[in-house]
């Protein structure tokens, strides 16, 4: 029973922080002509995930959230790097 509750909380944390990373990434993007990429505040949402939860939650949130944001905003070239 306890293991099931922990797994459920882990999944909820992954979803919540993934949405936070995605939202912050999509909300503000500043194009960088030198690299062809963009600057965004999405990376700043990964730090609270790492500090408040388990490392696996921050890893999923950072990887999946940023990759989905890159794909949906036209920067799909950078998605595999996350």
Q: Where are the domains of the chain?
A: 2-81
Q: Which two tokens stand for residue 44?
A: 């700043």
**Has residue 21 got a pLDDT over 90?**
yes
pTM comes to 0.83
Q: What is the pLDDT of residue 82?
A: 63
Kindly write down the DSSP assignment for every residue of 56-72, as one continuous string: HHHHHHHHHHHHHHHHH
29 vs 16: which has the higher pLDDT: 16
Q: What is the pLDDT of residue 16?
A: 96
Report the relative pairing of strands 30-32 and 37-39 from DSSP bridges: antiparallel
Q: What are phi and psi of 39, to 5 degrees?
A: -100, 140
Task: List, for residues 35-81, the tens digit of each pLDDT value.
Answer: 777 788 888 889 999 999 999 999 999 999 989 988 998 877 777 77
Q: Cβ-count burial of 23 within 10 angstroms (0-12 exposed, 13-18 middle, 19+ buried)?
A: middle
């Amino acid at each position: 029973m306890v293991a099931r509750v922990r797994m459920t909380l882990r999944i909820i944390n992954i979803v919540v922080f993934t949405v936070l990373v995605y939202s912050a990434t999509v909300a503000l993007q500043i194009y960088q002509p030198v690299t062809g990429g963009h600057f965004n505040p999405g990376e700043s949402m990964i730090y609270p995930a790492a500090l408040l939860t388990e490392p696996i939650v921050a890893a999923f949130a950072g990887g999946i959230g940023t990759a989905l944001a890159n794909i949906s905003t036209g920067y799909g070239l950078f998605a595999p790097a996350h």
